[in-house]
Structure 1
Amino acid sequence: MRIAGIPDACRQLACLALLALSPLGMFIGNVRQAHAADRPNIVFIFTDDHCTQALSAYDPSRISTPNMDRIAREGMRFDRCYVTNGICGPSRAVIQTGKYSHVNGFIRNGNRFNGDQQTFPKLLQKAGYQTAVIGKWHLVTTPQGYDYYDVLKGQGPYYNPPMITEGENGEPVTRKHTGYTTEIITKKTLDWLKKDRDDDKPFMVMYQHKAPHRNWRPAPKYLNWLDDVTVPEPETLWDDYKGRTQAASKQQMTVRDHLNANDLKLSGYGNMNEEQKKVWDAAYQPKNEAFLKARDAMTEEDVIKWKYQRYVKDYLRCVKSVDDGIGEILDYLDESGLAENTVVIYSSDQGWYLGEHGWYDKRWMYEESLRTPLLVRWPNVVEPGSTNDDITSNLDFAETFLDLAGVSVPDDMQGRSLVPLLKGNTPADWRDVFYYHYYENPGAHNVARHYGVTDGRHKLIRYYALEGKKIDDWELFDLKADPNELQSVYGSTDYETVQQRLKDQLDAAQQQFGVPEDTNLGRPQRRR
């Protein structure tokens, strides 16, 4: 008779000890090591403010991005990847933690990320992965959970960036660099892949660009690219905001009124040295002189059109350098033999306005900034050239990285792994509605605090604070009938059932994710 299981436990331990010393035990150990070595590497490529309208795998009308397109062609393109909070720092904090902003504590730019909390790179390290982050960090505190970090100081300039890395004493040190920031970040990533990583460990590297963030300073080789091209204007460039609430008209992010002389390259050099300034002036001075000479004879509409062309071309020029760098990374993965066991993921911190609604910038729950690119290549697993239309999110990235590595996803993470979708198997209980929340008002561009839900067909938004005052404004859009979101149908009897369903789903989402009823942090009590 066995009592309380104690003899069984002792017997099992003894057997395991003997097995470990036997030829069979050593064989099993070797198999486990081989299995660990076969875990896929992860290269996460991340940009700042890159919209699907400027990625030719989604929209070829403005630019060709052959290297980003290659990831889509050899992998999967996600068509409905939404962000939880459309602004730089918060998006990065969501990715580190797999949690909404109100949970991870980083709700707006200017906050400090609490790196002591649970993050996916720490969990990967514990599982034997080598981890690195190179490029834009934008979370203020020193990166934790990374064997190597070399990150931009703050936002970082487009030229000659100071970057922070670990010094010999283990403390962060700032080092100056000379050159174009996009190219420097690519070179540092290649150097790490070629020289610094441990060949005996699987790795995860976050290769993160500043570009194409404002104020869009192109690389020397692209300063005159697109000069002979007229970039198509979006059909909503002349939006008058009459079909929406006061929030849409009170923003401060129009091409017409809010791009400054620095944005438009009519003044300023950024962080350039004298040699770089000469190259810059040779490209921009003739173009600027031509504009200023013609300015008095131009109509207001002509000036707006000129501003749009100057802005969007510089933006696209910055994207072009990013695409070049991605090509270098993909080529190295192929040449080194790493490609076959490396998952390559491309995304951005949110979408962006290339003149839609007359805007630049992000922040809104409208489609252009809510939706972000997501491309994933996983050889021999993801079907090449496939697409996915499920609702996915940056909230899912941490969980996906962990799942790829065979690491259990903690219960307190709020997203879901995309691995089943990558394998072509959407779970029956996959989300069919998505929750968004933006907090930064008062703040840059005067975009009202708002939250909402979308199911991909209909979208409900509530604006609850603007210019320091409480408001209670609602918008409802039918994205099939009105894909440009020009006319809210909130309050329409034709949408009464849809409106109530979305309000119920909004309540359910806020309860599910534990959104606090605090006007300084989360949602206020709302009237039904």
Structure 2
Amino acid sequence: MARPNILWLFADELRAPALGCYGEAWAPVHTPHLDSLAARGVRFTNAYCNSPACVPSRLSMLTANLPERTGVYSNEGSWRSYPLPHILPTFPQHFAAAGYRVASIGKSHHHAAYHPWPEDNGEGSSMHGFGLDTNPKALEPIVPAGIPSPVGGVFPSDKPYPPEAVTWNATRWLDAHAGEEPFFLRVSWLQPHTPVLPPAHYRRMYRPSDWPGHNLPAFEGSVYEEAFAEMVGGRAFSHEQMQQAQADYHALTTWVDAQVGLVLGMLKLRGLLENTIVLFTADHGASLGENGLFAKVVHARQSQRVPLIVSWPGHLPEGEVRCDLAQGLDLARTFCGFAGLAPDDSFAGRDLFADPEPDAIWSTLGSGASGSRASSAANNGLWRNGGGWPRRTCIRTARYRFDMNVRQDGAAIAPAEEDPFLADTLADPLEQHNLAADPAHAGLIAEFRARVLAHAATAIEPDFVPAFSPDESPEFLPPRIAAH
């Protein structure tokens, strides 16, 4: 049998409940193409990123290694002056060496020293193609004070929508290369990441009044989550602004779904569906007002959890739903298993369709360097004791989520600043209740704390973390506009 093609469809900052097939949205959502893909394949309900921020998550996926092994813990890892501790093999390079035609179209966002994609076309993936820096008023931006990029707004229908270049280039690539050597193509949209500016005709699909706004269940979060919420400033939105932001995010998700439909349509047109594995996922999720939170950066379920859908007609079950733990760094061994390739020895994780579920998965975010900020791009957010924003590590098992701070200002965290969080995810699937102060769980907390500290002690550190500079990664710095 011919080796299968692989099409990796990739969104940015997409929470799993935003897709209709997950059945968890706060209001009706429209994602027919992804819902259909899930009906034709396998949908994972407990898939998580290995770092709830773009750069460390993406690098963990590409190298199949945790941040503690890559040495990249936050978005500073894409800055030109960031001193990478080493360069690890990536699985796209592994596929290229095995004879696949390998390409990425859309957003990459990693350090320039990495070259995972023999063909890499980033057109349409910039955060700066919308005119926000020059004429934002027409876009009706809803901008929190702490992160100067819109979490809601609209893009006029009488103008070309810049991100459509990603879809156009992907369909053109498939049309040009169908029937050649087996291909591995990643199509990577920036959306629904900020700036959240759906085209006007998509915005009209969603009524703000259908969304809860500030009327969301209360959560007993960690100090870390509370501090991030205060920094972002989402609680300052009016109820109507919050509803509009929630509606706009889902409108932009519907736009992503439509782009998926166009790419899958070309796959069908060129007769490639039967021998192409299609995998859809995201680099991390997003908060949409939970306890005032927006963006990512926290290990709360809505931020760390991602959608994961895999379809291969005739080879994988149709309509199967799996609840075992999955993680971003599992993609490398899973793709290798599909293609019949022996994985590189450096790849961690597992083949999701051949290997047993692990006892735990890990996620870590934050450099923990002196003076580091909660948002490296916005250069905003210090910790409560006046020090730098801490590094935080999360361990998830089939039943529990536990996370705590592990590093601050270039050293191991002081015990008083550990700020532990424990949730029983079976009894409390939304992770609303922090059990860290419950004496009945003292033994379990001590066990998790010891595991996390031992894990943190193995981390590879860069020689230094560069100070903020707007020249470091200009294509992904948020536009500088005032809060509305």
TM more than 0.5: yes
Contact 2:62–2:91 (8 Å) recurs in 1: yes
Q: Does the alignment pair 1:50 with 2:14?
A: yes
What is residue 183 of structure 1 aligned with on the other side? Answer: 164
Contact 1:116–1:144 (8 Å) recurs in 2: no
What is residue 247 of structure 1 aligned with on the other side? Answer: 224
What is residue 463 of structure 1 aligned with on the other side? Answer: 405
Distance 1:509 1:57 in 2: 35
CA deviation map 1:334-390 (0-9, x unaligned): 222210010100001111112222211111111111111100101111111001111
What is residue 374 of structure 2 aligned with on the other side? Answer: 443
Cα distance change on mapping 1:221 and 1:103 into 2, 3 Å: same
Among all aligned residue pairs of Structure 1 and Structure 2, give the percentage whose two residues are the same amino acid: 25
What is residue 194 of structure 1 aligned with on the other side? Answer: 175
Distance 1:439 1:451 in 2: 9
What is residue 398 of structure 1 aligned with on the other side? Answer: 332
Residue of structure 2 aligned with 1:454, choices 396, 411, 414: 396
By how many angstroms is 1:460 displaced? 1.6
Distance 1:142 1:371 in 2: 28
Contact 2:67–2:73 (8 Å) recurs in 1: yes
Does the residue aligned with 1:357 lie in a helix, a strand or coil?
A: helix
What is residue 232 of structure 1 aligned with on the other side? Answer: 212
CA deviation map 1:391-427 (0-9, x unaligned): 110011122222222221122212112232xxxxx53
Mapping 1:377-392, distance limit 5 Å: 377-392=311-326
By how many angstroms is 1:181 displaced? 2.9
Contact 1:464–1:473 (8 Å) recurs in 2: no
By how many angstroms is 1:220 displaced? 3.9
Q: Does the alignment pair 1:123 with 2:94?
A: yes
Q: Does the alignment pair 1:478 with 2:424?
A: yes
Letter matched to residue 34 of structure 2: M
Please state which structure has a larger fraction of its residues in helix. 1
Cα distance change on mapping 1:72 and 1:214 into 2, 3 Å: same
What is residue 515 of structure 1 aligned with on the other side? Answer: 459
Cα distance change on mapping 1:125 and 1:309 into 2, 3 Å: same
What is residue 442 of structure 2 aligned with on the other side? Answer: 496
Letter matched to residue 194 of structure 1: D
**Which sections of structure 2, spanning at least 5 residues, go unmatched?**
133-158, 382-388, 466-484
Distance 1:231 1:244 in 2: 22
Letter matched to residue 255 of structure 1: G
What is residue 434 of structure 1 aligned with on the other side? Answer: 361
Letter matched to residue 459 of structure 2: V
Does the residue aligned with 1:340 lie in a helix, a strand or coil?
A: coil
Mapping 1:99-498, distance limit 5 Å: 99-112=65-78, 117-141=88-112, 144-152=115-123, 155-157=126-128, 159=130, 179-195=160-176, 197=177, 199-227=179-207, 229-233=209-213, 236=216, 239=218, 243-251=220-228, 252-257=231-236, 304-420=238-354, 427=356, 430-440=357-367, 441-444=372-375, 446=381, 448-464=390-406, 470=414, 471-498=417-444
Distance 1:209 1:325 in 2: 9
By how many angstroms is 1:209 displaced? 0.3
CA deviation map 1:176-200 (0-9, x unaligned): xx831332111110000001x2623
Cα distance change on mapping 1:106 and 1:515 into 2, 3 Å: closer
Cα distance change on mapping 1:206 and 1:142 into 2, 3 Å: farther
Residue of structure 1 aligned with 2:3, choices 39, 62, 66: 39
**TM-score (structure 2 length as normaliser):** 0.77
Higher RCO structure, 1 or 2 (CA under 8 Å, sep 6+) = 2
Distance 1:463 1:116 in 2: 27
Residue of structure 2 aligned with 1:67, choices 23, 27, 33: 33
By how many angstroms is 1:65 displaced? 0.5
Distance 1:434 1:352 in 2: 19
Letter matched to residue 93 of structure 1: L
Contact 1:457–1:479 (8 Å) recurs in 2: yes
Distance 1:98 1:78 in 2: 19
Does the residue aligned with 1:210 lie in a helix, a strand or coil?
A: strand
Does the residue aligned with 2:419 lie in a helix, a strand or coil?
A: strand
Distance 2:215 2:391 in 1: 27
Distance 2:314 2:180 in 1: 22
More off after superposition, 314-323 vs 151-160: 151-160
Letter matched to residue 191 of structure 2: A
Cα distance change on mapping 1:508 and 1:77 into 2, 3 Å: farther
**TM-score (structure 1 length as normaliser):** 0.71
CA deviation map 1:24-51 (0-9, x unaligned): xxxxxxxxxxx4xx11111101111000
Count of residue pairs brought into register by the alignment: 411
Does the residue aligned with 1:372 lie in a helix, a strand or coil?
A: strand
Letter matched to residue 366 of structure 2: Y
Distance 1:159 1:199 in 2: 36
Does the residue aligned with 1:250 lie in a helix, a strand or coil?
A: helix
By how many angstroms is 1:481 displaced? 3.3
What is residue 142 of structure 2 aligned with on the other side? Answer: none
Does the residue aligned with 1:208 lie in a helix, a strand or coil?
A: strand
By how many angstroms is 1:148 displaced? 2.1
Cα distance change on mapping 1:100 and 1:153 into 2, 3 Å: farther
By how many angstroms is 1:487 displaced? 3.1
Distance 1:518 1:477 in 2: 32
Q: Quick check: which has more Rg, 1 or 2?
A: 1
**Which sections of structure 1, spanning at least 5 residues, go unmatched?**
1-34, 162-177, 258-302, 421-425, 522-528
By how many angstroms is 1:443 displaced? 3.0
What is residue 50 of structure 2 aligned with on the other side? Answer: 84
Root-mean-square deviation (CA, aligned residues, Å) is 2.9
